[in-house]
Amino acid sequence: MAYKKPLPRINGDNREFWEGCRNHELKFQKCASCGHVRFPPSLVCPRCLCRDVEWIASAGAGKVYTYAVYHAVYHEGFREDAPYVVAVVELQEGPRLLTNIVGCSPDEVSCEMPVSVVWEDVTPDISLPLFRPSV
Ligand SMILES: [Zn+2]
């Protein structure tokens, strides 16, 4: 069955991130000058404006920074998921990702809860990083 939810638009800036996801690896840009690890990918470091960058692999672990439980269906593709959790997860390396918390009931989610990445392979080219409670 075709995937019904919105898919990311891949461009020159984010291609490395999404290719990493396809290989089930969370990759972030790290500034070669000040060491700031950033997301989303960008041409220059938001802290020091340096253009030199290296890509690092994240351990895929972090914590819930904030979240909301969606009961309303804002897109037909999510109808069967409601209620579901939309969260900002802060990775150990620093970046924050907008994502979903899966693998538990929405009322089990709390801020600061430790989470780990899990992968949802939604198309042959796209794998989405979702998070579940760490065990
Ligand atoms: Zn920098």
23 belongs to a structural domain:
yes
Q: Output the pTM of the full model.
A: 0.93
Residue 9 maps to a domain: no
Cα separation of 69 and 77, whole Å?
Answer: 16
Nearest Cα neighbor of 97 from 133, 125, 58 is: 58
**For 45-57, what is each residue's pLDDT tens digit?**
999 999 999 999 9
Q: What spacing in Å lies between the alpha carbon of 40 and ligand 1's midpoint?
A: 14
Residue 69 within any structural domain of the chain: yes
Task: Name the residue range of residue 83's domain.
Answer: 15-133
Q: How far is the CA of 51 from the centre of ligand 1 (A)?
A: 8
Q: How much is the average pLDDT of 110-122?
A: 98
User: Do 77 and 5 form a contact (C-beta atoms < 8 A)?
Assistant: yes
Percent of the chain with pLDDT over 90: 97
Split into its structural domains, the chain has a count of 1
Q: Is the dihedral of CA 93, 96, 97, 99 positive or negative?
A: positive
CA of 48 to the centre of ligand 1 (A): 4
In a domain, 2, yes or no: no
Q: Tell me whether residue 7 is in a domain.
A: no
- Residue 105 burial by CB count (10 A; 0-12/13-18/19+): exposed, middle or buried? exposed
pLDDT at position 51 is: 97
Share of the chain above pLDDT 70, in %: 99
Say yes or no to pLDDT of 1 above 70. Answer: no
